[in-house]
Structure formats: C-alpha cells, structure tokens
Structure 1
Amino acid sequence: MAQGVLILSGYNIRAVVAFCRWATARGVPFHLVARDGSDPIFLTNYAAHVLLTRDSSQLALAHFVHWAALLRAQHGYERLLLLPSTEFLNRFMLAHREELGQAGCVVPLVDQALYCRLSDKHSFGRLCSDAGIAVPGEYDTLPERFPFVAKPRSYAGIGTRQLKPHLVYGPVERERFLRGEDSRDFYYQQYVDGRSLYLLAYVPISGEPVLFSQENLVQQPEGGSVILARADDFHLQADALPYLALLAQVRFHGLIMIEVRRAADGTCYMIEANPRLWGPMQLVVDHPTGIFDAFLADYGFCTAAAAAAAAANSASAAPLPCYYWSGGLRAGPPSYHNFSAAALAAQQAAIAPSDIFHRHDSMPLYRHEQAQP
C-alpha cells in the first residue's frame, strides 16, 4: 500500500525535526505543512519536504481534506498517517477522526475518552493512585505552604483556554497565579524534589511495548522544556512495571511519555503523562531504541533495516551521550535536577556534540537560536 506521513510543523519543532531525521534515514516518505513563513522548519534541510504553508493558524477539517487530496494526487498515496506531534493537534484529530478517515487520513491514537483520561493530569493521577502508583499529595484548598504545584484539571479550562501547570515557590508566584488564572480550573499538589525521569514507550496494538528512559538534568524555568537529558535504565527497573501494567489494563496503544520523580527515599511519584511525541525525542533517535520503527510498523510502513539506516545517516552510527538543546538556555535561568550550573559548564565540551540543532541538516536554525537575545 502506498502511503506517507503528514506532519504539521511549527510546534514542538524539536520533536518534528527528530522524526524527520529518523524518517530520512529509514526511507519513510513524509510531507510537512508549515505553520507560516517564519516556521523554523524552513531553517532546516527538511524545508524541501514542505507541501505548503498555512495562511491561518486555525485548524479546520477542510484543510486536512485539501492537504490529503493534494498528496494523494501527487504521490498516489492510498492513505496518510498523521503524526501526533502536539496536544492541540491530537485532540483536534480525535474530534474529527471519522471525517479524517474518509479523507484517507489515519489518526494513530486510542479513542478520545481513553486519550483524555491519560493526557488530562487529574484523571491520570486518579488512575495511577487507584492502581497503587504513588502520586504527589494533594491539597484540598489553595496552599499557604510553599512550594506547591498548581495543575490544570483538564487540557482546556472553563474559558476553553489551553492551560499549563504553575510551579509556585512563594507568595509572589502565588499572587501571579491567582491574577492570571481561574482557580476553579486547577488542583494543587505537593512539590516533589528528586531525580526527574521519563519512561518512554511505544505500546503496539498487539505485542510487547518498546521501551526506553531518560533522566532530565536541566530544564527551562517554570517547568518548561527539557534542555539536557541522558539515557537511563528506569525502563528496566521494577519501578517501571506498575506503569506498564496500567497501560495494558486500560488497553492503551501508541506513543507515550510518563514523567516520574524519584524522591530521596526512593519513592517514585507519577507527575504526568503525554501520549504523543515528546520534545527531547532526539534521544530515542540517537539511540537504537526502535520506538519509531514499532510505531510505523503498526500502520503498515516498511522501514529500512537499522544497519542500512546507520550507514545512510552517520549521526545514527554511534549513540550520542545525551540530548542537548542549547537554544533552550535563552529562556532564562534554568532548573537543575541532580545536576548543577557548574556541572553544565564543566561538561560543555562533552555535551555540545549532542546539540539537537548543531548538525548538518539544521545549522541555520542553530545559528538563528544562538542569535536570539
């Protein structure tokens, strides 16, 4: 069956570029729809894969029908796999799954109810707690003790605006939170300090999950994007088993990242889950994890053998030591987990070669980020 992958670019760009690298090495046909003329994808080699540039940031079903018709006419595809790259896109696709299917598009996600149950922070926390998985303690009312975390109960609040968690370190942040948010949209958890771990997986429709894990060392302020991470063996440890059992119990399949905090006493607390591509996806591309291979295989794609892919893409020939995004440091003083500013400076020579954009296919994007104030 002739088929390709359709990717909406402009958001979660680090994950999009990582997938494009993997797909290029594996010989998987893919096509991009750029967000606008300033989409960072135009500063990479993958600009050659841009089908068209959107003239509006609004998503509409008619757009997907049009894009699919263009690609099917140009390439003879029988169907197009839609890459689940962002939360907003995924929820849009789930709301229009039937119509997208009629247009020849495949939505590689579980049903809408299960997806939201895992992606919404409060419902997944309840699911984990019921399964005996530790979650941070909750406060009944807005806490007076610091620090704490204010988490949205669901993806969209009362005003349908997309919501994000807030790390509240003291009275100043507390007042800022109350001024900027409707407290009815949030619940409050204890802040858990400790090692920051990601359990990374592709759970196939049938068969055993493909697993990997990472430890996050440096992160943008206010719980922002990961800047530095290294491979970890959490997925091989007993602490990972309850999560895998829970995913099997609810019959989940697809890509998923589960964030865990390992406290000083060894307890692992579930922080959140993202059933989609995650920002530091490059780490699973730079290591022979097989996560993307399993994902595409579930939908009938034949990918090149790993050895052939490594020969075609020298960056994949030997795993890089870590995931690093130097451009992320420009967001302000970062947070450190089991790491420090001194360690980042001391290890810079070893870390720098892993920079996600300091590579042959994205040097203009790297220079653009470095030039930002």
Structure 2
Amino acid sequence: MKKILLIFTGFNQRAAIAFLRCAAKSKVNFRIVSCGDDDPINTTTYLDRIIYRRRHKGLDIELMRGIREAVLRQDGLCKIVLLPTSEYLNRFLLQNRGELEELGYIIPLVDRILYESLSDKESFSQICRSFNIEVPKEMSVYKLGSTFVAKPRTYRESLSAKPISPVLVNSEEKRKEFFDNYNLDSFYFQEYLIGESVYLLYYFARGQVLKFSQKNILQQPDGKSILAAEPSTFHMSEYSKIYEKMLLDLGFQGLVMVEVKLNESGCYMIEANPRLWGPSQLLVDNNVGFFEAFIQDWCGAYSFYKPRDYACKQKKYFWFGGLCQTLRENKFPVRCATGQSEKMFEVNDWMKFDIYSRKDSVGIFLKELL
C-alpha cells in the first residue's frame, strides 16, 4: 500500500520548513495540515500541498478522522506517516497511538514511556546520572540564590494545560518574579552554567546511526530560540560516543537532539528533545542526510542527497526574524558561550544563511520583518 507523508505546520515552524525542503527534493508524496489562515505556511510555495486547514492548534481524534478522510479523497487508499514535528503533536500521538493506528496512521516514534523519559527533563537527568554522564548540580528550593535554572519536572500535567518552559533566573528581581508567579512544586532547580552550548544531533535509523553537531552562537534571551549556529565536530568526540551508546542501550530510535554545555569543569547534559529541532536547516544546508534517511525508512522514497565529508561542511544557520522580534521587545540577544547580552552582532555576515530569506519562503521573511 502506498504511503503519504503528513506534515503539521503551525508548530515548530522553522523545523517544518527545513523538512519540507528535503521532502520537495525527494520522491515522497507529502501533504500539509496547516493551522488556519494565519499560518505562515500560506505565504510559501508549499501552499498547494495543504490538504487540510485546522481552525486552531488544538488536536483531537475527530480532527484526525477528518484529516484522514481528506487524504483518502485526494490520494486514495494509503497509509499516512505522521512527521514528529513538535512536542505537543508527539505527546498527542503517543497518548492516542492505538486509535490513530486503527485509522491507518503510522507513528514513527518509540513507545510513550521511553519518549517521555527522554523528553521530561528531570527523568532524563536521572537516566544520564545512571550512565555516569554529568548534569548540572541540583539545588534545594530553600537554598536558592539569585542565579539558577528552574526546570519543569514534566512537560505538562495534561495536553489541555499550557506547557511550562524552563525559567532562567539571574537577578534578585527575576527571583522574586519567579517565586510570585510560578507553582514551585512543578519545578526542580539546577545551577546555571556558563560555557559553550552544543547540540548533539542524532538520527537512529534502521541499521545505522547518523550524527552531527552544531555550536550555538546567538540565542533569544531567557533560553528561547537559537538565532545563529554553525557546524561543530563535537559529534566525533568521545563524549558523543557515550550519548550514542546510552541511547542505543535504551532502545531509542528516531530523531533526537541533546544539548550539552562545555566549560573548564567538564561536559554537562542540559536537555534532550526526541523530535525535530528549530535550527534543523543547518542539517539541510550541509547535506547531512537525517531527513532523507527518515523518508527512506518510513516512506520508502528515494532521495537524491549526496552527503559531503564532515570537514567540508561550512554552511551556517541564522534566523533574522527571531533577532528582529527580540529587538522589537526592547531586548538583546544572548551570546551562548557567556550568557551575556550581545548588543553588537555582524548581521551582514550571516544574512546569506537566513532560513526564510529564500525563494520558497520569502513571504514569511517579509511578514516577520513587518
């Protein structure tokens, strides 16, 4: 039976765009489920691939029935492979796996218990400790100073609740704000580490492990999205082998990003995301082949990519719209290595790598500027 790759937009949009660029170059038959009239995907060249428009970002089984019927009307009898685009989508898919699979959906994710043990920050920290991987020192809520990181124990209590993000506290003012506005029982606390930020990137494919890494240069304040990054060779280090072995021992398969911090004291695990990650365009521009391998594994569609030697990878990642957003909020981006505000940044040197300033997505680029 033929397979259709279904890509939800409206979540994790930069990662979705990066994947769409790979899908468009392969022989896979793909469709898009957009998030209404305001979804930026409507301004791209992928507009004709939209098969269903959601009215809002919420997900439920009836919605998935409607999407399936739309796909079957256009493409006939088929299996539908769901791209694991975002955390919210993945949690929904895993909570409703049995019913969705009966509808003919294919969910390319590990089981729910393993997925959540990696994605939930506290449980993954415990797993790393059991494999002798260093994590930031934990702190008692009763002994917190003015500098710490508050991390949610789990992603959320239920899919209807608003997810909680980590909170970076680096002043008495932010400390007071945190204590006044958050439920402390939902968090655990770690020391705030200064150092080089690196993403270890893996695709545990069928019969092979693909790996890559990126050095993060610039980030939105408060630990939000990465604005600028460049290729790294950290995935070729002994540290990377430790993470690779751990994930294999756990039985993990699929896409995963592990953030680590490097400083003079060592290498520390910060968090893991077993899904697509925002700066995925770095993989695409450097022909690493993660997404092409995913398409081959799950859709059986051949891709024409030709991976280059790691030493030749020189394309960088930049999100100019995210920088503009930060400045409009009267804030400054943060240098990842120091955690300090960066008021001077050579934008001209990075613009040629911008994720949206391209033919297929110039509409998003202009929308973010305006």
Q: What range describes the TM-score normalised by the shorter chain of this pair?
A: over 0.9
> 1:249 maps to what in 2?
249
Aligned to 2:39: 39
| Cross-structure match for 2:98 | 98
Moved over 4 A (4+): 157-160
Question: Partner of 1:168 in structure 2?
Answer: 169
**Quick one: distance in 1 between partners of 2:243 and 2:153?**
21
Does the 8 Å CA contact 2:256/2:275 hold for their aligned counterparts?
yes
Letter in 2 for 1:8: F
Q: 1:328 is matched with which residue: 322, 326, 329? A: 322
Report the secondary structure of 2:188's partner residue: strand
SS of 2:56 mapped into structure 1: coil
Distance 1:108 1:24, change over 3 A: same
Instruction: State the AA in 2 paired with 1:203.
Output: F
Structure 1 contact 194–261 (Cα < 8 Å) conserved: yes
The alpha carbon displacement at 1:120 in A equals: 0.1
2:272 — aligned with what?
273
SS in structure 2 of the partner of residue 45 of structure 1: coil
1:185 maps to a residue whose letter is S
Partner of 2:179: 178
1:150 aligns to 2:139 (yes or no): no
| C-alpha contact (below 8 Å) 1:227/1:328 kept by paired residues | yes
Residues 157 and 185, structure 1, Cα contact 8 Å, conserved in 2 = no
Structure-1 separation of matches of 2:77 and 2:180 = 50
Which residue is 2:345 aligned to?
344
Query: Partner letter of residue 298 of structure 1?
Result: D
Aligned length: 359
Cα distance in 1 between the residues matched to 2:275 and 2:77: 24
Aligned-residue offset at 1:66: 1.8
* Structure 2: distance between partners of 1:364 and 1:286: 20
* Matching residue's letter, 2:19: F
- The answer (yes or no) to whether the contact 1:196–1:261 under 8 Å persists in 2 is yes
| Post-superposition offset of 1:118 | 0.3
- Note the alpha carbon deviations across 1:277-306, whole angstroms, 9 max, x for none: 100010111112111122222214222322
State how far apart, in whole Å, the 1-side matches of 2:57 and 2:246 are: 36
- Per-residue deviation at 1:343? 6.6
CA displacement at 1:160 relative to structure 2: 4.2
Deviations 1:300-321 (A, max 9, x none): 42223225x99xxxxxxx9662
Q: How does 1:70-81 map to 2 (within 5 A)?
A: 70-81=70-81
Higher alpha-carbon deviation: 69-78 or 83-92 = 69-78
Query: What does residue 49 of structure 1 align with?
Result: 49
CA contact (8 A) 1:2 1:76 kept: no
Q: Distance in 2 between matches of 1:295 and 1:143?
A: 46
Q: Is the 8 A contact 1:4 1:77 kept in 2?
A: no
Q: How has the CA–CA distance of structure 1 residues 108 and 354 changed in structure 2, closer, same or farther, with 3 Å as cutoff?
A: same
Instruction: Tell me the equivalent position of 1:368.
Output: 367
1:228 is aligned to 2:228? yes
- Alpha-carbon distance in structure 1 between the residues aligned to 2:313 and 2:366: 24
Q: Secondary structure at the match of 1:85?
A: coil
Matched with 1:237 is: 237
Length-normalised TM-score, structure 2? 0.92
- Equivalent position SS for 1:207: coil
The within-5 A match list for 1:175-324 is 175-204=176-205, 206-265=206-265, 267-306=266-305, 321-324=315-318
Native 8 Å contact 2:292 2:305 kept in 1:
no
